[in-house]
Amino acid sequence: MSAAGHDVFVFRKLLTFGLAGSLMLAAAGCTEQDAGPVVKYEPDKRVPAPAVTGELLEGGGTYDLASKRGSVVVINFWASWCGPCRVEADDLEAVHKDLPQVEFIGINTRDEKDKALAFDADRASYPSIFDPAGRIALEFVQVPPNVVPATLIIDRDGRIAAVIRKAILKDELRALVDEVAGRS
């Protein structure tokens, strides 16, 4: 294939994925305004989070989001092969340590267990669910975390308050969590 032919091929693939992404966002009820990398939902626009359950990556049991009702929960989708996940890991851990009253759970997705365990040992002190098939992300039909990393903030009533589809920095995450928790 010539260089020009390759460029056309790549452009067509990007166009196809772009249209597919737009259709997914439309199906999710998102507008162009809220389709950016950080989407915040006002309390009256929040939808219930789906069931999030799974075996913990580190062993020792299972996680169930429903048991965290009454707490603000930060859910972070990550993978060992994801460069931006490595970049945001220290920021997530810093906010976790700064806000012990906020629950944090990682969801390792589309990964190999040994690589996930090696990365997780240095990544965070909060637990992670091992979800190699990416099934948990598929449950978030109305607000899909369709990239890795992705972070969701769940309010005390178990509703999705924010979706971040990029690597998140400490100050930005802290401000979002404080807003959802009702602190300034």
Q: Strand, coil or helix: what is 21? A: helix
Query: What confidence score (pLDDT) does residue 35 get?
Result: 56
Helix axes 83-98, 170-181, angle to 10 degrees: 50
First to last CA, the chain: 57
The burial class, CB within 10 Å (0-12 / 13-18 / 19+), for 172 is middle
**159 and 87 in a common domain:** yes
The burial class, CB within 10 Å (0-12 / 13-18 / 19+), for 61 is exposed
CATH of the domain at 111: 3.40.30.10
Q: Strand, coil or helix: what is 163? A: strand
**20 and 111 in a common domain:** no
**44 and 21 in a common domain:** no
Q: Give the Å distances, CA to CA, from 118 to 26, 56, 70, 155.
A: 38, 14, 32, 31
Measured from the Cβ of residue 51, the count of other Cβ atoms closer than 10 Å reads: 11
Give the model confidence (pLDDT) of 111-152 as tens digits: 999 999 999 988 789 999 999 999 999 998 877 777 899 999
Residue 157: what are its φ and ψ, rounded to 5°? -90, 10
Closest CA to 65 of 13, 118, 127: 127
Residues 6+ apart with CB under 8 A from 183: none
**85 and 133 in a common domain:** yes
**103 and 45 in a common domain:** yes
Helices (H), 28-107: 83-98
The pTM of the whole model exceeds 0.85 = no
Better pLDDT: 36 or 77: 77
Query: What confidence score (pLDDT) does residue 41 get?
Result: 95
**122 and 140 in a common domain:** yes
Q: Report the Cα 41 to chain-centroid distance in Å.
A: 15
Query: What confidence score (pLDDT) does residue 2 get?
Result: 52
Give the model confidence (pLDDT) of 48-105 as tens digits: 999 999 999 999 899 999 999 999 999 999 999 999 999 999 999 999 999 999 999 9
Tokens of 162: 């924010």
Contact criterion met (CB below 8 Å) for 102 and 73: yes
**84 and 9 in a common domain:** no
Query: What confidence score (pLDDT) does residue 1 get?
Result: 52
- The count of structural domains within the chain is 2
